[in-house]
């Protein structure tokens, strides 16, 4: 008898014959308590690993502390932040960070989307191709920077100069003549697989029935991609841009190994390294660290809002 009544009630709910208060049954307090209890271990671990070190960094940023003068440690309050914002190197480092991070994120998104579309098709050797394309993201950043510096961008024996020499272009000292281009190129090569994996997951979650229906209605591949696939990938692109921006804004190895911060490549992370391990100014370096976190949040927020605006205007 129960198996007959429940479908009837479900049909009545759809038709609106049942009062609204019966449609949504509030969860019990016991169920809510269990759900919250399951989240506490993860939340506590996150607080210990992220927030406590950040609070310690803020504490150090309020102190005047030079490792060459260990006995002269005292509170300077906001003097380190005044030094950060009054120092001319901060603005140039901020511009370099935004330029390098933004360019690498845009190029990685475009190339990642292109590779994801290609890998979404069925062809012989697709698994091998996917594995080879993921490889750059698995290489350690320091090793990748060394390979690109000495094997690819080296002025006399690098492979890039050998290739452009085939068409009559003279060799270029990439690491010194075009340092920003080299850093952006290495970061794009290394992080394109990361974007590709996220976008490929989005493509493979797309409903094939919708694409087949649009084909029946006369929509071509370009129209399908612009009006169906891209709106579907919106959330995946936002996630990729957010996570990619957070990772790229902290990149240190290519700058330190390939250019040493010269030629407009001194990012905030490299500037922080200089203040902490070259100048031995712990308090000032901590202030740079706090400012870098704030800049990361701002960059990610602006990137997400820009993407949201683009997708919103594109679907109108």
Let me know: does 101 contact 248? Beta carbons within 8 Å: yes
For the chain, give the longest Cα–Cα distance.
87
How far is CA 284 from each of CA 58, 81, 156, 163, rounded to the nearest angstrom?
11, 7, 40, 45
Q: Please tell me the predicted confidence (pLDDT) of residue 310.
A: 63
Q: Which tens digit of pLDDT belongs to each residue from 121-173?
A: 888 888 899 889 999 998 988 999 999 999 999 888 889 999 998 988 888 88
Give the domains, in start order, of the chain with CATH numbers: 88-314 (1.10.3720.10)
pTM of the model: 0.78
Ranges of residues in the chain whose predicted pLDDT is under 70: 1-27, 303, 307-308, 310-316
Alpha-helical (H) ranges within 126-274 are 126-138, 141-147, 159-165, 174-177, 179-204, 208-216, 221-224, 230-248, 253-254, 268-273
Q: Please tell me the predicted confidence (pLDDT) of residue 12.
A: 42
Q: Please tell me the predicted confidence (pLDDT) of residue 2.
A: 42
Write a three-state SS string for 183-198: HHHHHHHHHHHHHHHH
Q: Which tens digit of pLDDT belongs to each residue from 130-143?
A: 889 999 998 988 99
Q: How far apart are CA 307 and CA 241, in angstroms?
A: 9
């Amino acid at each position: 008898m129960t198996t007959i009544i429940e479908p009837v009630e479900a049909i009545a709910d759809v038709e609106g014959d049942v009062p609204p208060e019966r449609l949504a049954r509030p969860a019990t307090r016991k169920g809510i308590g269990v759900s919250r209890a399951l989240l506490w271990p993860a939340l506590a671990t996150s607080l210990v690993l992220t927030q406590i070190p950040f609070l310690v960094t803020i504490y150090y940023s309020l102190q005047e502390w030079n490792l060459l003068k260990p006995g002269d440690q005292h509170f300077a309050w906001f003097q380190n932040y005044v030094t950060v914002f009054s120092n001319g190197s901060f603005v140039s480092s901020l511009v370099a960070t935004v330029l390098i991070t933004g360019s690498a994120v845009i190029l990685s998104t475009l190339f990642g989307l292109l590779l994801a579309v290609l890998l979404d098709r069925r062809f012989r050797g697709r698994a091998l191709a996917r594995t080879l394309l993921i490889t750059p993201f698995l290489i350690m950043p320091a090793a990748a920077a060394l390979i690109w510096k000495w094997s690819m961008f080296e002025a006399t024996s690098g492979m890039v100069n050998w290739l452009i020499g085939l068409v009559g272009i003279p060799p270029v000292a990439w690491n010194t003549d075009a340092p920003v281009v080299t850093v952006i190129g290495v970061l794009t090569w290394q992080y394109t697989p990361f974007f590709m994996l996220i976008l490929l997951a989005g493509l493979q979650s797309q409903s094939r029935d919708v694409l087949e229906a649009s084909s029946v209605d006369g929509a071509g591949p370009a129209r399908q991609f612009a009006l169906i696939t891209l709106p579907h990938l919106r959330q995946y692109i936002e996630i990729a841009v957010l996570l990619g921006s957070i990772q790229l804004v902290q990149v240190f190895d290519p700058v330190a190994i390939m250019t040493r911060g010269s030629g407009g490549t001194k990012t905030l992370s490299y500037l922080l390294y200089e203040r902490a391990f070259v100048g031995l100014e712990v308090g000032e370096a901590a202030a740079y660290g706090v400012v870098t976190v704030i800049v990361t949040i701002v960059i990610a927020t602006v990137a997400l809002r820009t993407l949201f605006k683009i997708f919103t205007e594109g679907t109108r």
